[in-house]
């Protein structure tokens, strides 16, 4: 078989990578995309087997991802799925390397984190595309001789032909271009001195092992550009788990409470069945008077939502801090991208109406993630688009300005203040056109049972008033009316004579 050489690398005008494509990786990441998404890597990141890759000085997290690379054999522009595979000349092994330390500075582009010299080794051999079934390939990765990734292309989220056809809708795939097709679960972190190997095989054909050695960089980053910065979230994502990263297990903290199973389907249904006014009345009876988020309007006043709170806090903008906390995968994007089915993202914006706190793309992402609603006591950008979503957003006012005018997204899953109310992760939120209530989960079951009883009593009172009875002694009910109510209740709702 033909070997990958310098001419192969020189022919690649574009290197395009897919974010998530293997079900095992999607399960590990906790998200399954509905459509493929991509990023570009510079052709200068390409290298051959046996070469070394440098972990940049000051960086901690050099991630490796064994992948199958497609080499385009003839130009593809607006091709169909049925014809797409004929435009692929060969497949080979690749390693999609990157430093998580620079993700914060990329704003989603992956240019700094994955575009470094040598960050895309490919080879060593090319398997002709017409000699293999694209759904019958095997990808394996070894880290210091230990097998860490082993998967097949049988059940990809997006088969290879779909990727080629999809990309060709918008851009011309040229001869020599390379497409990295995603990595399975098992990707992790390599250190200086480590050896990484990737192999692609199909039947009796194999690329051989693509070998890359990791070296420590010695030239520090200059102060006129973004430097390395990591936190425990990046460590967890780079290593694949908190345990693999050497981080302590998440304890019973506010963050854990945000995903605690404190809202059963039965409890949720009961909370949906009672009026916000009734809940407010019962909360007041328990001495809870400051549990309403006030002063907001809704994009969907016809909708009623019940869900567990996730929280996000903005702090006032300070230009030096916005440079370090406002860009990249910041707290706002982390909150949006981690909200789960049925949860409600509540934002503390200090009642500041002079800028947006969420716009159409992030609101759509929250909806795709299954969020029940977004609540912010600040502004909303792209109001018409946000209002057009099925998911309700509760907000102070529309405003076209971006975060950097007044806010820095600072932290998530902590106790916050929103619309005059304190909200903790895991609190139960009930919101409709009458208002927004924050319910401590510890009292929710007892609270809703009393609400159901209260509404049954009020149904009786309503019927009695409708019949012409005075509210004196009836609302609230005295002993005589209580006795008549019990009789009415026993008769399954029939009015007393």
Which H or E element spans position 95? strand 88-95
According to the model, what pLDDT value does residue 496 have? 39
According to the model, what pLDDT value does residue 258 have? 44
Q: How many CA atoms lie within 13 A of 251 on its CB side?
A: 3
Extended beta strands in 62-108, E state: 62-64, 66-72, 88-95, 98-99
According to the model, what pLDDT value does residue 101 have? 92
Q: pLDDT band for position 429 (50/70/90)? A: very high
The residue that leads in pLDDT, 28 or 2, is: 2
Helices (H) and strands (E) in the chain, counts: 15, 30
The dihedral sign for the CA sequence 398, 404, 405, 406: positive
What average pLDDT does range 229-248 have in this prediction? Answer: 86
Q: pLDDT band for position 253 (50/70/90)? A: very low
According to the model, what pLDDT value does residue 460 have? 87
Distance CA 427, CA 358 (A): 21
DSSP string, 221-281: PPTTS------HHHHHHHHSSTTTTTPPPP-SSHHHHTT-S---HHHHHHHHHS-HHHHHH
Domain spans in the chain, listed from the N-terminal domain onward: 6-239, 255-442, 445-490
Distance CA 414, CA 427 (A): 11
What average pLDDT does range 47-73 have in this prediction? Answer: 95
456-479 pLDDT, tens digit each: 888 888 989 998 999 898 888 888
Tell if the pTM clears 0.75, that is, is over it: no
CA 195, distance to chain mean position in Å, is 32
- Topology of domain 6-239, CATH: Fumarylacetoacetate hydrolase; domain 2 (3.90.850)
Strands 435-439 and 292-293: antiparallel
Distance CA 147, CA 489 (A): 69
Structure-block tokens of residue 350? 């200090």
165-221 pLDDT, tens digit each: 999 999 999 999 999 999 999 999 999 999 999 999 998 999 999 999 999 999 989
What average pLDDT does range 243-269 have in this prediction? Answer: 67
Q: pLDDT band for position 453 (50/70/90)? A: confident
Q: pLDDT band for position 492 (50/70/90)? A: low
Domains 6-239 and 255-442 are alike in CATH topology: no
Burial 330-347 (b: 16+ CB within 10 A, else e): bbbbbbbebbeebbbbbb
Structure-block tokens of residue 364? 């759509």
According to the model, what pLDDT value does residue 34 have? 87
From the CB of residue 329, how many other CB atoms can be counted at a distance below 10 Å? 18
Asked if residues 359 and 382 have their Cβ atoms less than 8 Å apart, the reply is: yes
Asked if residues 62 and 189 have their Cβ atoms less than 8 Å apart, the reply is: yes
What is the three-class DSSP state of 480?
Answer: helix
Using the 8-state DSSP alphabet, how is residue 131 labeled?
Answer: G
From the CB of residue 423, how many other CB atoms can be counted at a distance below 10 Å? 25
Q: Please report, in angstroms and rounded to a whole number, the separation of the first and last CA atoms in the chain.
A: 96
Q: pLDDT band for position 157 (50/70/90)? A: very high
Range 255-442 has CATH code 3.50.30.40: yes
From the CB of residue 416, how many other CB atoms can be counted at a distance below 10 Å? 23
């Amino acid at each position: 078989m033909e070997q990958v050489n310098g001419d192969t690398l020189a022919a690649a005008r574009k290197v395009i990578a897919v974010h998530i494509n293997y079900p095992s990786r999607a399960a590990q990441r906790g998200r399954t995309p509905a459509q493929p998404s991509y990023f570009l890597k510079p052709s200068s990141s390409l290298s051959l087997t046996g070469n070394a890759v440098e972990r940049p000085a000051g960086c901690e997290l050099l991630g490796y991802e064994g992948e199958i690379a497609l080499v385009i054999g003839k130009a593809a522009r607006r091709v169909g799925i049925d014809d797409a595979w004929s435009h692929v000349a060969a497949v080979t092994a690749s390693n999609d390397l990157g430093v998580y330390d620079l993700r914060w500075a990329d704003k989603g582009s992956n240019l700094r984190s994955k575009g470094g010299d040598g960050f895309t080794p490919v080879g060593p051999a090319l398997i002709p595309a017409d000699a293999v079934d694209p759904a019958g390939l095997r990808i394996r990765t070894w880290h210091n001789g230990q097998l860490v990734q082993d998967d097949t292309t049988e059940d990809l989220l997006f088969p290879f032909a779909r990727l080629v056809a999809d990309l060709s809708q918008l851009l011309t795939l040229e001869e020599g271009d390379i497409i990295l097709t995603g990595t399975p679960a098992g990707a992790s972190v390599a250190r200086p001195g480590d050896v990484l190997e990737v192999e692609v095989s199909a039947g009796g054909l194999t690329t051989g092992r693509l070998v890359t050695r990791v070296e420590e960089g010695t030239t520090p980053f200059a102060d006129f550009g973004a430097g390395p910065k990591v936190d425990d979230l990046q460590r967890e994502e780079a290593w694949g788990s908190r345990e693999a990263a050497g981080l302590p297990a998440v304890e019973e903290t506010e963050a854990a409470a945000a995903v605690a199973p404190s809202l059963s389907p039965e409890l949720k249904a009961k909370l949906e069945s009672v009026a916000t006014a009734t809940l407010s009345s019962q909360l007041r009876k328990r001495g809870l008077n400051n549990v309403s988020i006030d002063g907001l309007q809704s994009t969907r006043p016809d909708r009623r939502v019940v869900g567990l709170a996730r929280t996000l806090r903005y702090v006032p903008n300070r230009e030096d801090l916005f440079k370090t906390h406002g860009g990249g995968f910041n707290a706002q994007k982390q909150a949006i991208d981690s909200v789960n089915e049925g949860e409600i993202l509540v934002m503390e914006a200090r009642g500041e109406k002079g800028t947006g706190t969420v716009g159409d793309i992030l609101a759509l992402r929250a909806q795709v993630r299954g969020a029940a609603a977004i609540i912010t006591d600040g502004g909303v950008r792209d109001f018409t688009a946000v209002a057009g979503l099925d998911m309700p957003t509760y907000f102070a006012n529309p405003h076209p300005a971006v975060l950097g005018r007044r806010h820095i997204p600072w932290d998530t899953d902590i106790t916050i203040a929103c619309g005059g109310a304190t909200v903790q992760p895991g609190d139960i939120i009930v919101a409709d056109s009458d208002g927004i209530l924050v319910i401590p989960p510890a009292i929710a079951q007892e609270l809703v049972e009393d609400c159901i009883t209260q509404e049954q009593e009020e149904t009786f009172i309503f019927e009695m008033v409708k019949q012409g009875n005075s509210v004196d002694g009836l609302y609230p009910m005295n002993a005589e009316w209580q006795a008549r109510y019990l009789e009415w209740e026993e008769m399954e709702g029939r009015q007393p004579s």
